[in-house]
Amino acid sequence: MSQVEWDADDDLEEKPFNRAYMKRLLRYVLPYRKVLSIVVLIVLFNMGLSLAEPLLIRYVIDEGIMKQDFFIIHMVGITLLAIKAIGWLFGFLHTRMINFTGQRILFDLRQQLFNHLQSLSFRFFDGRPAGKIMSRITNDTNAIGELINGGLITLVMEFTHLIGIVAILLWMDWKLALLSFITLPMLYLVVGSMQSKIEGSWSRSRKTMSAINGNLNETLQGIRVIQAFSRQKENNKRFETLNTRNKNAFMRAVTLESLVFPAVEMIGVIGTCVVLWFGAREVLSGELTLGFIMAFINYLWRFWGPLSALSKVYSQVLAAMASAERIFEILDSEPEVKDRPDAKPMKPIQGEVVFENVSFRYETEKPEVLKDVNLRIRPGQRVALVGPTGAGKSTIVNLLMRFYDATGGRILIDGQDVKGVTLESLRRQMGIVLQDSFIFSGTIEENLRYGNEDATDEALRRAAENVRIDRFVSQFADGYRTQVEERGSKLSVGQRQLLAFGRVLLSDPRILILDEATSSVDTETEQHIQAALQTMLEGRTAFIIAHRLSTIRDADVILVVKDGRISEHGSHDDLIKQNGLYKKLYMTQFEMQQSLAMQTGA
Ligand SMILES: Nc1ncnc2c1ncn2[C@@H]1O[C@H](COP(=O)(O)OP(=O)(O)OP(=O)(O)O)[C@@H](O)[C@H]1O
């Protein structure tokens, strides 16, 4: 099952009520307690007004209509109108207040999640697909928002409504009230059981829609691969499954809804009949008035509203519990790589890098990926990392950047243990260019300034010239202000790479890490990249996961990584003489590359 589909099922969960989560959620509400107290007061006042309506109707029938007192009829009419107008005004006020407050709470929660996510280490993201994390920030915060926006106030409002109705009915005529309550268990059963099913179906409909969106997104992103492999038919089937699930959930929700209303009406009619049967006799005998019966029946009909609203809140609470669990799981994840309490800022880096018996494993139960790695690189040296795939080259640079912390041994830069310095001061002085140069949406200039927003225009221009992007930028009508769209989709592979070089050059790192791209570009761009590379590497300690023969030959030190160890190190000539793995790699991989390049004239 694909991740997108799996997400949908994962999101369907409801969780039992959890007091600890609820308490924690209420902590987000606490800063807004003043405004929420005002909302509760308004809601209760409105409820009081609404509960007074049937009593006024009773009064107008008994005292106005029956006694033909037009003054009372007019006065009650005006009062009912006033009640509706005030109710509308206060209703507008409290809805606005609660929505605004709900949005503020959601804002706080989303902001906190986003901030926290950015601080989490690579290991957190290793095990979680981006789509899942995104749905937590959007869907799950929304589920909590729904509870806060509608749920909490509904709880207060409808609960008092229900108590109010029961109290008034008992006060009016307790015997008739108890008799009419016969219908309550029926109403509770119908509303309670159906409403949670209806809510469940609506929630399934929403979640399946998000699965559809996820699938659509994946399809659009991968449309080239899909068409290249002619996978349209299979994809259609997958999409049809999701689409059917969504359609079924929607149809089930509306079917249940169309069933529940007649059932409620039927129960309402039964209650009315009971009251009429017993009440009519008393009206005829003059013990009860017509207005009384009308008001009584009116109150009975009002039971349905609060019961339905409360069971809806119940489902909202369960959905919010599941969301809260997922959100708190993120918020409770501690960044694994973080500043020690005694961390000092890293002094300006000269560029000496030492690995002392460094070992590392990605997961505790998995075997070590690096074993006893020892290196000593002098400032300004150019280091090429070569070796078979999966040997541990990227892991070495990941540890140097402190994306992960070594599980054994020490990494020293200019004699300082990287674990003892603040992450920001360390990473600010290091630069990394990955194979797939990630370009952010925005302008070319914004992308160039990514690591150094305060760079002067002159420095920007110089960096652009050095990495040869000035040439293609000048061809765009908007120059450096050209929007490059998401992931730089408007640029070619080579241009994206040069832009990534420019970004690093402008941030002027002392240690540079480069995962050389394997994808081939045209001869001219290749020459530009080579020239840009030379400029970029000048005067810096550089670690290059090298794929090009020229880069490897130009390196001061070549490290051959094999099974998590440095199996050979030295210059190109030294290593060829050693007649070991490097020579083998060179003969098979690099020489083939060279002859291919010669054939194509690259
Ligand atoms: N995030 C991760 N979680 C778990 N294991 C990982 C992770 N990243 C890499 N590995 C494993 O660690 C080992 C070393 O991977 P690494 O990426 O360092 O190799 P590499 O030499 O850079 O390979 P390549 O040349 O293919 O990029 C591999 O066996 C790989 O499966």
Residue 180 lies in a domain: yes
CA of 422 to the centre of ligand 1 (A): 26
At 1, is the pLDDT very low, low, confident or very high (cuts 50, 70, 90)?
A: very low
Token couple for 61: 């029938």
For residue 135, pLDDT over 80 is answered with no
Report how many domains make up the chain: 3
What letter does residue 317 receive in the DSSP assignment?
H
Question: Do 33 and 139 fall into the same domain?
Answer: yes
Q: Is residue 343 part of a domain?
A: no
Q: How much is the mean pLDDT over the chain?
A: 86
- Are 259 and 144 in a shared domain? no
Secondary structure (DSSP) of 267-282: HHHHHHHHHHHHHHHH
The mean pLDDT of 107-114, rounded to a whole number, is 92
- How far apart are the C-alpha atoms of 416 and 432, rounded to whole Å? 20
Mean pLDDT of all residues in 302-310: 80
Give residue 224's pLDDT: 82
Ligand 1 atom nearest the C-alpha of 385 is: 21
Kindly state the average pLDDT of the residues 252-263: 85
CATH code of the domain covering residue 141: 1.20.1560.10
What's the gap in Å between 395 CA and the centre of ligand 1? Answer: 6
Residue with tokens 């990494």: 411
How is residue 559 annotated by DSSP?
A: E
Do 247 and 329 lie in one domain? The reply is no
| pLDDT attached to residue 42 | 93
- Site to probe by mutation for ligand 1, drawn from 365, 395, 543, 548 as the one with most ligand atoms within 8 Å of Cβ, is 395
Answer yes or no: is 340 within a domain: no
d(Cα 345, Cα 537) in Å, to the nearest integer?
A: 25
Among 351, 255, 265, which Cα is nearest to 300's?
A: 265
More confident residue, 359 or 13: 359
Q: Verify that 251 and 325 share a domain, yes or no.
A: no
- Nearest CA residue ID for atom 31, ligand 1: 390
CA distance 122 to 105: 29
- Do residues 238 and 311 share a domain? no
Using the Cα atoms of residue 175, residue 176, residue 180 and residue 184 in order, give the sign of their dihedral.
negative
The pLDDT of residue 313: 82
- What percentage of the chain carries pLDDT values higher than 70? 93
Q: Which residues line ligand 1 (CB under 6 A)?
A: 126, 362, 369, 387, 389-395
Residue 462 lies in a domain: yes
Residues 561 and 426 in one domain: yes
- For residues 124 and 239, membership in a common domain is answered with no
The CATH number assigned to the domain holding 561 equals 3.40.50.300
Measured by CA distance, the residue closest to atom 25 of ligand 1 is 389
389 located within any domain: yes
95 domain residue, yes or no: yes
Percent of the chain with pLDDT over 90: 36
Mean pLDDT of 265-275: 85
What's the CA-to-centroid distance between 129 and ligand 1, angstroms?
17
Same domain? 32 vs 50 = yes
Spatial neighbors of 32 by CB under 8 A, at least 6 apart, are: 101, 104, 105
Rounded to whole angstroms, the Cα distance separating 380 from 362 reads 30
- Distance, CA 392 to ligand 1 centroid (Å)? 6
* Same-domain check for residues 435 and 512: yes
296 in a structural domain: no
Rounded to a whole number of angstroms, the distance between the first and last alpha carbons of the chain is 43
Query: Could you tell me the two tokens for 328?
Result: 């708190």
The residue whose CA has the least distance to atom 12 of ligand 1 is: 369
Atom 16 of ligand 1 has which residue's CA nearest to it?
392
CA-proximal residue: ligand 1, atom 17 (nearest): 394
Same domain for 550 and 406: yes
Domain housing 560: 353-597
Closest residue (by CA) to atom 7 of ligand 1?
362
**Best substitution site from 337, 362, 562 to test ligand 1's pocket, by max atoms within 8 Å of Cβ?**
362
Beta carbons within 10 angstroms of residue 33's beta carbon: 12
In angstroms, the CA 228 to CA 234 distance is 13
| Cα 373 to middle of ligand 1, angstroms | 16
Does residue 319 contact residue 203 with C-beta atoms inside 8 Å?
yes
Q: Are 184 and 152 found together in one domain?
A: no
pTM of the model: 0.75
Residues 417-474: tens digit of each pLDDT: 999 999 999 999 999 988 877 888 888 899 889 888 888 888 888 888 888 888 888 8
Give the nearest ligand 1 atom to 564 CA.
14
347 in any annotated domain? no
**Same domain for 383 and 494?**
yes
Alpha helices per DSSP H over 173-231: 174-180, 183-221, 223-228
